[in-house]
């Protein structure tokens, strides 16, 4: 899944990759560049997850510091960079109550890459988004009307309401909120013990 900081959270937007990191990426460390990194506010409050590449850029720019490392290195021509597992912003950022933009990647993240009709978990490329109430019938593109869907269920549902297609949603779609974000962070944190003390285990 794509994991980058959201500009609506008051954080810097996407940056051009540091030349040394681009070299490391080209030398085969690309997988490490996409490892998830937990982002803490200056107060140590967990606020987001981003890719290691983004985290390293923030550390190199002096926006954040590494609190934990995952044991891997990104090797460039003249130096090696430790890959962080947890970073902390050096200046406190006020996080709006609704902090995530409505987007395909965030719908997939909310629904945990699972079809909301049959429950099948699939890679992002094998999933689509379904309008619970079809657009042709007045449905809007909103958090409450968009769900992750496999192509089989999408074809079956077609231009119908779920009840008309004799299909039932796994859970009611809701906007991404702080509770949802924290829950997903905890689920991701199961694979990295270094996250746990920051996620109130």
- Tell me the domain boundaries of the chain: 7-97+178-198, 104-157
Instruction: Please state, as a whole number, how many other Cβ atoms lie within 10 Å of the Cβ of residue 176.
Output: 20
Which among 155, 176, 157 has a CA at the least distance from the CA of 168? 157
Task: Provide the H-helix boundaries in 49-196.
Answer: 52-60, 104-110, 151-157, 178-189
104-157 maps to which CATH number?
1.10.30.50
- Distance CA(113)–CA(126), nearest Å, equals 9
Determine contact, residues 121/113, Cβ cutoff 8 Å.
yes
- Distance CA(24)–CA(26), nearest Å, equals 5
pTM of the model: 0.60
Per-residue pLDDT of the chain (201 residues; tens, 9 = 90+): 333 344 334 344 444 445 545 544 444 455 677 788 999 999 999 988 888 889 999 999 999 999 999 877 776 667 678 899 999 999 999 876 655 778 898 898 889 889 999 999 998 899 999 999 999 999 999 999 999 999 999 999 999 999 999 999 999 998 877 677 777 787 777 778 888 888 875
pLDDT at 21: 53
Locate tokens 């506010």: which residue? 41
Phi/psi of residue 65, each to 5°?
-130, 150
Q: What is the DSSP string of 64-103?
A: EEEEEEEEEEEE-SS-EEEEEEEEEESS--PPPSS-S---
pLDDT at 191: 72
Distant-in-sequence contacts of 28-36, Cβ < 8 A, 24+ apart: 29/74, 29/75, 32/72, 32/74, 32/83, 33/74, 34/3, 35/70, 35/72, 35/83, 35/85, 36/3, 36/188, 36/192
pLDDT at 120: 96
pLDDT at 150: 97
């Amino acid at each position: 899944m794509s994991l980058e900081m959201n500009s609506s959270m008051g954080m810097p937007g996407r940056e051009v990759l540091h030349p040394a990191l681009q070299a490391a990426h080209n030398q085969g460390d690309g997988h490490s560049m996409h490892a998830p990194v937990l982002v803490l506010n200056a107060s140590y409050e967990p606020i987001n997850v981003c890719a290691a590449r983004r985290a390293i850029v923030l550390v190199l720019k002096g926006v954040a510091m590494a609190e934990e490392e995952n044991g891997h290195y990104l090797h460039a021509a003249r130096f090696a960079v430790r890959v962080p597992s947890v970073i902390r912003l050096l200046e406190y950022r006020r996080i709006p109550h609704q902090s995530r933009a409505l987007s395909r990647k965030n719908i997939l993240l909310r629904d945990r890459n699972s079809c909301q009709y049959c429950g099948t978990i699939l890679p992002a490329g094998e999933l689509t988004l379904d309008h619970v109430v079809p657009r042709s019938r007045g449905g809007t593109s909103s958090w409450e009307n968009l769900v992750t869907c496999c192509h089989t269920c999408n074809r079956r549902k077609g231009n119908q309401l779920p009840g008309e297609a004799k299909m039932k949603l796994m859970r009611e779609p809701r906007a991404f909120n702080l509770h949802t974000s924290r829950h997903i962070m905890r689920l991701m944190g199961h694979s990295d013990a270094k996250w746990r003390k920051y996620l109130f285990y």
